[in-house]
Amino acid sequence: MKNENNINNVSNENNMKEMKFQNSIEVENTETQAVHKRRVRYKGTHPRKFEEKYKEHNPEKYADTIAKVISKGSTPAGMHISIMVKEILDFLQIKPGQKGLDATLGYGGHTRKMLEQLQGEGHMYALDVDPIEIVKTKERLAKAGFGEDILTIIKTNFANLSEVAGEYGPFDFMMADLGVSSMQIDNPERGFSYKIEGPLDLRLDPEHGVSAAERLKELNQDEIEGMLIENSDEPYADKIAAEITKAYRRGQKIETTTDLKNVIESALSFLPDNKEKKDIVKKTCQRTFQALRIDVNSEFEVLEAFLEALPDALASGGRVAILTFHSGEDRLVKKTFNRLLKTGVFSEVSKDVIRPSAEECAQNGRARSTKMRWAVKA
């Protein structure tokens, strides 16, 4: 689908200078005086838009509101609820004094729980490529008492694990959560969801690469169809690819999430208007956005690079847990783990996937598709 330079581009853009990011992040409030801003007003009795949910954006101040939102099975705006925390901690068996790596920092939920297990001894390293969220998370964890004495945050793609391990490893424990964070999905400016109007971007690092809108323009009909099949097993890939191509020929623009959603709905207009159609359109939109996101961020290539670097990144007896969210990711992890088990690099791997409990799925709907696999280095 993509040319073979994708991984090289990822590595070049996230060079070792960026890996010193933890020393260069500065909280903007130290440079400029805080200016009082009137909060965004909204219509009706409850805020509906992402930017209007001011209480959800301030969990420390409005803890009761956050608790109510979570109790209803929803994720507060601007937050991310970590998945399978207990299962991960039970497997990693973290001990004070160890050295660990969270390859996907995100909101910092998993990182914080692993830091607590260290009890102030040892060190955690965490990676993230998102320039927007990494600053917020660094500040959030620092306020919780986890400063640079025990936590080093590095702005780099986890495809660069070999470089990270070469400087800071090997690691006694490691984890990677391959899902997109809720604060990225819910923010309309990031363009990750078909449910809300926003620019069709889908980049995890909006400072590098091309947006999803630009990427679509680069692909012909066969390439779009192949991308949809390979990245999300889309059953209507041929019809969606044809409709996107027709739209461009008509001079139609596909620059927003709604633009793409409308094209998908048009491609499925042949379906009979019944109760099933709405659900089919919804799932097709989900798969199409997923496939495009994977393509834009070279997610399979990045994961392959990470998995290949695992043997040298882990210390003897080191443990790694990986959370995946669709079959393509899970197949790659399973295949690599089993291969390294046969060659003697790993002494043990999970025989079956571990899934979140029914209780967790009820509280956090975004956990339902999660699969966890683990491995132990010989």
pLDDT string in tens for the chain (378-residue length): 444 445 455 455 445 444 444 444 443 444 444 444 555 555 555 555 444 444 444 555 545 554 554 455 445 545 558 899 999 999 999 999 999 999 999 888 899 999 999 999 999 999 998 888 899 889 989 999 999 999 999 999 999 999 999 999 899 999 999 877 666 667 777 777 888 888 999 888 888 889 999 999 999 999 999 999 999 999 999 999 999 999 999 999 999 999 999 999 999 999 988 889 999 999 999 999 999 999 999 999 999 999 999 999 999 999 999 999 888 899 999 999 999 999 999 999 999 999 999 988 888 877 888 999 999 999
Q: Evaluate whether 259 touches 242 at the Cβ level (below 8 Å).
A: no
Residue 46 confidence (pLDDT)? 56
Residue 174, beta-bridge partner list: 101, 320
Residue 268's Cβ-count burial label (10 Å; 0-12, 13-18, 19+) is middle
CA distances from 91 to 319, 327, 350, 359, 373 (A): 8, 22, 10, 20, 10
The CA distance from 299 to 295, in Å, is: 7
Instruction: Pick the closest to residue 168 from 19, 7, 302 (CA basis).
Output: 19
Q: Is the peptide bond before 170 cis (omega within 30 degrees of 0)?
A: yes
Fold assignment, 6-29+84-182+300-377: Rossmann fold (3.40.50)
Tokens 């965004």 correspond to 40
Residue 41 confidence (pLDDT)? 59
Give 91's Cβ-side CA count (13 Å radius).
22
Q: Evaluate whether 212 touches 191 at the Cβ level (below 8 Å).
A: yes
CB atoms under 10 Å from CB of 368, counted, come to 14
- CATH number for 206-296 (one of 1.10.3470, 3.40.50, 1.20.120, 1.10.150): it is 1.10.150
Can you tell me whether residue 138 is helix, strand or coil? helix
The CA distance from 59 to 63, in Å, is: 5
CA distances from 304 to 87, 152, 203, 299, 358 (A): 24, 24, 19, 9, 31
Q: Evaluate whether 288 touches 234 at the Cβ level (below 8 Å).
A: yes
Residue 64 confidence (pLDDT)? 55
pTM of the predicted protein model: 0.76
Contacts of 253 (CB under 8 A, 6+ apart): 259
Per-domain residue ranges of the chain = 6-29+84-182+300-377, 206-296
Residue 44 confidence (pLDDT)? 54
Contacts of 349 (CB under 8 A, 6+ apart): 337, 338, 340, 341, 373, 374, 375, 376
Residue 5 confidence (pLDDT)? 47
Q: Evaluate whether 46 touches 56 at the Cβ level (below 8 Å).
A: no
Instruction: Pick the closest to residue 153 from 204, 83, 102 (CA basis).
Output: 102
